[in-house]
Amino acid sequence: MEKYQVNVSTAVMFPVLLIMIAELLLFTQQPTYAVWLHVLVLIGLAMATIYLHETDIYMSYQALMLLPLLRLVNISMPIFFEMTLYSYIFIYAPLFIPVYVLIVHQKFTSAQLGFTFRNLTLYILIAIVLGLAIAEGEYYIIRPGYLIPDLSFINILKVSIVMILFIGFVEELIFRSILQTRLEEAMGMFSGLVITSVLFGMMHSGYGTFYEILFTSLAGFIIGYLFQRTRSLPFITLIHGLVNIFLFGIIPHLGPGLGLI
C-alpha cells in the first residue's frame, strides 16, 4: 500500500510540474512555447486516461486536463473578441461542457462538489469581508484598470453576474470541487490543498509578476482550506466572485480602502 501511494504521488506530480512549467513560460513572455506545452500536456493526459486503470491516477489526470484547457481557451478567445467584461462570458461559458462531462463521468456527488446552501447568510457576510480583504491586497500588486465605466447599479449588476456566475463559479468548480477533491483523495488532504493552491497561483502567471503568483497561491490556500472546512461551493464562489468585483469594478474607481482612507 505504501509503494502504491508513492507511485500515485509521482504519477500525479509529473503533469502538475509540466503545467507549472507551461505557466512559467507564459510568465517569461514565451506564449508560443507555453501554448505548445499546454497542448501536449492536454493530449498526454487524455491518452494516459485511456490506458491507466488506477482510479486515483486517471481521475486526477482527468481533473488536471481542465487546467490546460482553461488556459488555451483563455489565450485564444481575445483573438476573436475584444477583451472587455463580456469577453469573459465567451471564455468561461464553453468550459461548462467539459466540466459537466467530467462530473457525470466521474460520478461526483453533490456533497463532493459542495452544492449546499446551509449557513448561507453567515457565509455571505464572511465572503464580503474576506473578498474585500483579498482584493485590497491584490490591488496593490497588479493595479488593474476598471472593467465598468462607472459604479451605477446596472454596471455593478453586470460585473457581479460575470464575476460570480461565470468566473467565480467555473474556476471554483474546477479548482476546488473537482481538482482539490481528486488530489486530496490521491495524495492526502494537506498535499491536495497545497498543490491545488500553487496551481491556482501559477494560473495567474499572465499578470507578469511573481508577487501575484505568490499572493494568489496564498488566496487559493485560504479559499481551499475554507472549502475543506465547509464543503460549500456557493461560499467559495461568492468569495472568489467578490474579490473580482472589488478588484476590477469598485476599487479602481474608489481607490484602495474604497476611498475611506
Question: How do residues 132-153 score in pLDDT, each as one tens digit?
Answer: 999 999 999 999 988 999 999 9
Q: How confident is the model at residue 17 (pLDDT cuts 50, 70, 90)?
A: very high
Please determine, for residue 87, whether its predicted confidence score (pLDDT) is greater than 90: no
- Quick one: how far is CA 39 from the chain centroid? 19
> What's the mean pLDDT in 14-26?
96
Please determine, for residue 6, whether its predicted confidence score (pLDDT) is greater than 80: no
What's the pLDDT at 146?
A: 87
Please determine, for residue 199, whether its predicted confidence score (pLDDT) is greater than 70: yes
In terms of residue numbers, what domain contains 255? 2-259
pTM, two decimal places = 0.92
Full DSSP string of 41-100? HHHHHHHHHHH---HHHHHHHHHHTHHHHHHHHHHHHHHHS-SSTTHHHHHHGGGHHHHH
Residue of higher predicted confidence among 109 and 76: 109
Domain tally, the chain = 1
> What's the mean pLDDT in 111-133?
96
What's the pLDDT at 53?
A: 81
- Give the SS3 label for residue 189: helix
Please determine, for residue 232, whether its predicted confidence score (pLDDT) is greater than 70: yes
Residue of higher predicted confidence among 1 and 182: 182
